[in-house]
Amino acid sequence: MERLPGFRDFYPEPLPQPDLWSADARNYIFDRWRSVARRYGFHEYDGPPLEPLELFTAKSGEEIVGQLYNFTDKGAREISLRPEMTPTLARMVAAHERNYKKPLKWFAIPQLFRYERQQKGRLREHFQLNADIIGETDSAADAELIALLIDILRSLNLSVEDFVIRLSSRNAWQGFFCQANGDRSREYEFYQAVDKLEREDPAVSEQKLASFGLSLAQVRTFIDEARPTAELQAILDNLEARDLRSFVKVDYGVIRGLAYYTGVVFEAFDRKGDFRAIAGGGRYDNLVSLISGGRVNLPALGFGMGDVVLLELLKARQRLPDFQSAIDAFCLIEDEALRSDSLTLIQDLRNAGLAVEYSLVPAKPDKQYKRAQELGAAFVCKLERTPSGTLMVNLKDLKTRQQSTVTPTEARLQLEARTV
């Protein structure tokens, strides 16, 4: 039985084949996402993977709606697997915002599902860090979020040479569109045309823009001038104070496909341009109000960073650590009469937080030793009974080959000391 196209199996390291997905690499990314988000004062939330279909059809915009994994459930409800987290977050916030002090700084790591054409950087499921700030209109919040994005990528060993944040604003585009006397009812349609500029045949873009009374040259000039609006300048100054300015460039070529964005938008890309966007986000000041039927009105902004492009990039640039060797000690049981006492020792060491392995069934000593080496154990330990009947532990460091015979308590203390 094959797995579905666009879905992944995650194997533990060492991987049977280099092109398989690594569960250890995934955990490593999740750990970095969590620890940096917490460093910035973000709190974790989660929601259901299945939602009423309507939550997405009304608010996300046509591209995502065309990619929904939707169906009718046994209770005749129209439902969908979540293609993104933002509408769920807006629903959750609208329901209980009164219980929390603003601004909210929340993050989640949902698995998302989009029925996309499978290609490099695009699958039918992916994990996505979502970090959002709710209840703050000041651009200091935008800068805080972009700083978080930069620091997450830095924590994954990527530097200013590796990635760039392309910063833009739908407000800037709105100004451009109004000045050109564009039809306000077709504003989102215009944004979609701009969003496709980099991927579409210029002749097609020219034709689309002509329907708004604009030329491709006019649009290109606006992008090339890259004049920051006051709002973008405030974000750049804020990042300058953190010494993070060099990670960001104003680039109106970014406008984002999703319908709900209302102001500042941004995307993170690898500098060489070999990959699709690593992350994307922006302000969506009307979504909470839309989803709550006008009951709750809160400004909001956030970004999503997927694991697929990120892993491709980290692999290509060789920035992933070596995931082997997680075992602190392997307990050799050479004398089956000592199995019961060995289990006591193993339990004791595990209670102390150490990772300990042993042979579940009787095995030849050399086989046990070989297994310890295969598992990359730092130490092997072996219980021995002295002629006077006392239990002692023979401890051997597999790297330095140094050996000592100590009491079980001393063995635990020595192993604990090396893991701190």
Binding stretches for ligand HAM (CB under 6 A): 84, 86, 114, 116, 122-123, 126, 128, 130, 132, 277-281, 302-304, 306, 308-309
Of 122 and 196, which CB lies nearer to ligand HAM in the complex structure?
122
Burial of 344 (0-12, 13-18, 19+ CB in 10 A): middle
CB of 134 to ligand HAM, least distance (A): 10
Of 14 and 48, which CB lies nearer to ligand HAM in the complex structure?
48
CB of 317 to ligand HAM, least distance (A): 16
CB of 58 to ligand HAM, least distance (A): 15
84 with 304: CB under 8 angstroms? Answer: yes
CB of 132 to ligand HAM, least distance (A): 5
Of 258 and 329, which CB lies nearer to ligand HAM in the complex structure?
258
Which residue type occupies 393? V
The span from the CA of 68 to the CA of 53, in Å, is 9
The span from the CA of 154 to the CA of 161, in Å, is 11
Of 33 and 303, which CB lies nearer to ligand HAM in the complex structure?
303
CB of 316 to ligand HAM, least distance (A): 15
Taking CB positions, which residue lies at the least distance from ligand HAM?
306
CB of 106 to ligand HAM, least distance (A): 10
Which residue type occupies 249? K
Of 292 and 394, which CB lies nearer to ligand HAM in the complex structure?
292
CB of 182 to ligand HAM, least distance (A): 24
Of 252 and 269, which CB lies nearer to ligand HAM in the complex structure?
269
CB of 232 to ligand HAM, least distance (A): 18
Of 241 and 316, which CB lies nearer to ligand HAM in the complex structure?
316
The DSSP letter of residue 117 is P
CB of 126 to ligand HAM, least distance (A): 4
Of 13 and 312, which CB lies nearer to ligand HAM in the complex structure?
312
Of 148 and 411, which CB lies nearer to ligand HAM in the complex structure?
148
